[in-house]
């Protein structure tokens, strides 16, 4: 509280000096009397209130300043005369009598007479617009740095290129930071001559902008929250700003402003006064805004794209500070995009290495299997050669004894059995030796249909009527294989030869081929009378069923050959045609794809 006491004559000079100091003080000082009128106003206070002079302000009622102070503040000043509690109001907005808008700081205290009763209000008012402006600028810079920090944090953990670009563009349009209305990103093609529209973020029109911005102002949202909000709004509206630039291609060698920004590698602001070339004018017309800021994305002295931003909704002017700050974000964008490209290449190489490792493992397995087959071939060759000489001697002596026996001798039957079994053993040894020779041949491309024709020709020579007894229904398209030609030819030959020997004469084998899920498949079914179906099924199951104990050696070798080449064989039941023998091998992918 301020006490007012009576002065004597010796204090007049001091009081006059004090009055002059108050009058010229840079802070507004005023006194309101008990009647609610301005009793005293210094020059600064009269100017703040909007009066032309101190004399004009003197005696004016407080109610005249109600729109300047606002009703709550006037009420507090009046209440001060009653409760005598001083108060201070920091930074309130007001418009004075002259129409000037500013921010002010007000302090008020009660003035007391010597008797102790209130006789007025003493006030100090100060224009703090400059401080408010500096605080707002400081807050703006802090917000910008915060956005930059959030962008750095988000892109440091982002791996996918699309995710990185969304984070960057959201940072450009976040009102807590740079606050552009819209942001567009164009990336260079591989030939580095054409910019292609890749991604855009921002409202598509004023109505959508109102929804998004009103939601953003509800609280202090983080960058991921803003990104999620844009995504939700885009999905609700079934429209995307990216559609506006989708498929847009800009030649950077044609001398346009876009080409200039890319070639000079410096930020560029296109304003209402800028003279536009035909290409730039056409593109900005499509975007619907003639005032834009563009800055190239450069990494390791190599341009990779262009970042463009505008204020198509609010039409606010783009300042030089905006341009410089956009350049900072563009540098971050370039580094983040480059890092995502490197990660993508690394991921692709990892996938390729994994594929090569699998292929290497498969190749090693094939090499091991090939060595096994080679060893088996050498062993069987040695065993066959060792057995052939004794069998030849046994067969020769048996034939000689048979010729020298008297007709009707009881030994003739036994010698015939010895001769027959010796011939069968020699046939098996011949098959084993054929396989042994085949194991030394290198793998190469083959074709299944051609191989089946070749097998049929071999059967025709060996059995006389082999080809005539077989019906072929081969695939019209080629079925490429990869493997040992002699081994596979031997395997198919032994399978068909065994069938031709043991099937009933009335059963006619039908061979068909086709491709099936990356494999080529040969199927053999038989045309036969109903009474022979049991014999056919017995033959197939005996030689190609699950029980290996009754299989011939040649068929065991044939089955192992098929498995060695990555295939399998067996018998399937068909209700209409009876049992079906199948041999399935993988297609040679390189030839099939070509």
Q: What is the pLDDT of residues 385-442, one digit of tens each?
A: 677 778 788 878 778 887 777 777 777 777 788 888 887 777 777 766 665 555 556 7
CA distances from 458 to 139, 465, 504 (A): 93, 11, 20
Q: Is residue 58 a contact partner of residue 41, using CB atoms and an 8 Å limit?
A: yes
pLDDT of residue 238: 40
Q: Where in the chain is the domain with CATH 3.30.450.40?
A: 137-345
CATH architecture for segment(s) 2-127: 2-Layer Sandwich (3.30)
- The H or E element that residue 390 is part of is helix 320-404
- The H or E element that residue 16 is part of is helix 12-24
Residue 392 — φ and ψ, nearest 5°? Answer: -65, -45
Alpha carbons 459 and 33: distance in angstroms, whole number: 132
3-class SS of residue 288: coil
pLDDT of residue 124: 93
Report pTM: 0.42
Q: Where in the chain is the domain with CATH 3.30.450.20?
A: 2-127
Q: Is residue 223 a contact partner of residue 147, using CB atoms and an 8 Å limit?
A: yes
**Helices 485-502 and 411-438, axial angle in degrees (round to 10):** 150
Phi-psi region of 471 (alpha: psi -120 to 50; beta: other; left: phi over 0): beta
pLDDT of residue 4: 43
pLDDT of residue 125: 93
**Residue 207, burial from CB neighbour count under 10 angstroms (0-12, 13-18, 19+):** exposed
3-class SS of residue 176: coil
3-class SS of residue 213: helix
Neighbours of 138 (CB within 10 A): 10
pLDDT less than 50: residues of the chain = 1-15, 177, 234-238, 466-467, 592-594
pLDDT of residue 143: 67
Q: What is the pLDDT of residues 515-533, one digit of tens each?
A: 888 889 998 888 766 666 7
Q: Is residue 48 a contact partner of residue 104, using CB atoms and an 8 Å limit?
A: yes
pLDDT of residue 153: 63
pLDDT of residue 136: 74
Please give the structure tokens belonging to residue 330. Answer: 């563009």
Q: Which residues does 79 contact at the CB level (< 8 Å), separation at least 6?
A: none
pLDDT of residue 177: 46
Residue 586 — φ and ψ, nearest 5°? Answer: -70, 140
Q: What is the pLDDT of residues 556-579, one digit of tens each?
A: 778 878 888 888 888 887 766 677
Q: Is residue 521 a contact partner of residue 582, using CB atoms and an 8 Å limit?
A: yes
Q: Is residue 86 a contact partner of residue 122, using CB atoms and an 8 Å limit?
A: no
CA distances from 587 to 366, 512, 583 (A): 16, 16, 13
Q: Which residues does 492 contact at the CB level (< 8 Å), separation at least 6?
A: 451, 452, 455, 522, 558, 583
CA distances from 531 to 131, 498, 538, 570 (A): 110, 21, 13, 23
Query: Parallel, antiparallel, or unpaired for β 101-112 and 87-95?
Result: antiparallel
List residues bridging with 515 in a β-sheet. Answer: 520
pLDDT of residue 464: 62
pLDDT of residue 426: 75
CATH ID of 137-345, from 3.40.630.10, 3.30.450.40, 3.40.50.150, 3.40.190.150: 3.30.450.40
Determine the CATH number of domain 441-593. Answer: 3.30.565.10
pLDDT of residue 220: 57
């Amino acid at each position: 509280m301020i006490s007012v006491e009576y002065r004597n004559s010796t204090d007049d000079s001091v009081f006059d000096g004090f009055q002059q100091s108050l009058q010229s003080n840079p802070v507004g000082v005023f006194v309101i009397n008990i009647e609610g009128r301005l009793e005293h106003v210094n020059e600064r206070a009269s100017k703040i209130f909007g009066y032309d002079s101190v004399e004009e302000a003197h005696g004016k009622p407080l109610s005249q300043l109600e729109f300047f102070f606002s009703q709550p503040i006037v009420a507090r000043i009046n209440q001060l005369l009653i409760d005598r509690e001083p108060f201070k109001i920091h930074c309130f907005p007001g418009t004075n009598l002259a129409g000037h808008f500013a921010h002010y700081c007000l302090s008020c205290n009660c003035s007391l007479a010597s008797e102790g009763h209130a006789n007025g209000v003493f006030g100090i008012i100060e224009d703090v617009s400059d401080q408010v402006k500096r605080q707002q600028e400081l807050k703006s810079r802090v917000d910008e740095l915060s956005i930059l920090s959030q962008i750095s944090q988000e892109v440091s953990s982002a791996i996918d290129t699309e995710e990185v670009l969304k984070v960057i563009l959201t940072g450009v349009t976040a009102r807590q930071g740079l606050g552009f209305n819209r942001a567009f990103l164009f990336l260079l093609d591989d030939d580095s001559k054409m910019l292609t529209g890749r991604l855009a973020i921002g409202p598509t029109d004023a109505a959508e902008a109102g929804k998004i911005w009103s939601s953003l102002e509800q609280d202090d949202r983080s960058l991921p929250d803003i990104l999620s909000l844009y995504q939700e709004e885009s999905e609700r509206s079934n429209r995307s700003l990216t559609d506006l630039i989708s498929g847009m291609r800009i030649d950077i060698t044609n001398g346009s402003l876009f080409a200039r920004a890319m070639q000079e590698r410096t930020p560029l602001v296109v304003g209402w006064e800028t003279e536009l070339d035909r290409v730039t004018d056409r593109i900005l017309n499509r975007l619907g805004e003639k005032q834009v800021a563009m800055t190239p994305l450069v990494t390791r002295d190599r341009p990779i794209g262009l970042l463009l931003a505008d204020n198509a909704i609010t039409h606010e002017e783009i300042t030089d500070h905006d341009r410089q700050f956009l350049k900072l974000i563009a540098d971050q964008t370039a580094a983040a995009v480059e890092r995502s490209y490197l990660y993508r290449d690394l991921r692709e190489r990892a996938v390729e290495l994994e594929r090569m490792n699998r292929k290497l493992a498969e190749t090693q397995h094939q090499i091991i299997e090939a060595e096994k087959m080679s060893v088996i071939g050498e062993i069987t060759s040695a065993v066959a050669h060792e057995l052939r000489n004794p069998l030849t001697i046994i067969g020769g002596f048996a034939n000689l004894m048979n010729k020298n026996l008297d007709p009707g001798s009881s030994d003739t039957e036994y010698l015939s059995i010895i001769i027959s079994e010796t011939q069968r053993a020699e046939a098996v040894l011949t098959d084993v030796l054929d396989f042994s020779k085949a194991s030394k041949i290198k793998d190469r491309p083959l074709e299944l249909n051609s191989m089946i024709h070749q097998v049929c020709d071999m059967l025709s020579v060996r059995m006389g009527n082999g080809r005539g007894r077989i019906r072929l229904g081969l695939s019209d398209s080629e079925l490429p294989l990869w493997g040992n030609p002699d081994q596979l030819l031997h395997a198919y030959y032994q399978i068909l030869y065994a069938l031709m020997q043991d099937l009933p004469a009335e059963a006619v084998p039908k061979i068909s081929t086709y491709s099936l899920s990356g494999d080529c498949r040969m199927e053999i079914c038989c045309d036969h009378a109903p009474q022979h179906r049991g014999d056919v099924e017995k033959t197939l199951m005996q030689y190609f069923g699950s029980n290996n104990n009754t299989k011939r050696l040649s068929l065991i070798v044939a089955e192992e050959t098929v498995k060695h080449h990555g295939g399998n064989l067996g018998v399937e039941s068909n209700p209409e045609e009876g049992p079906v023998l199948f041999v399935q091998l993988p297609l040679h992918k390189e030839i099939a794809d070509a």
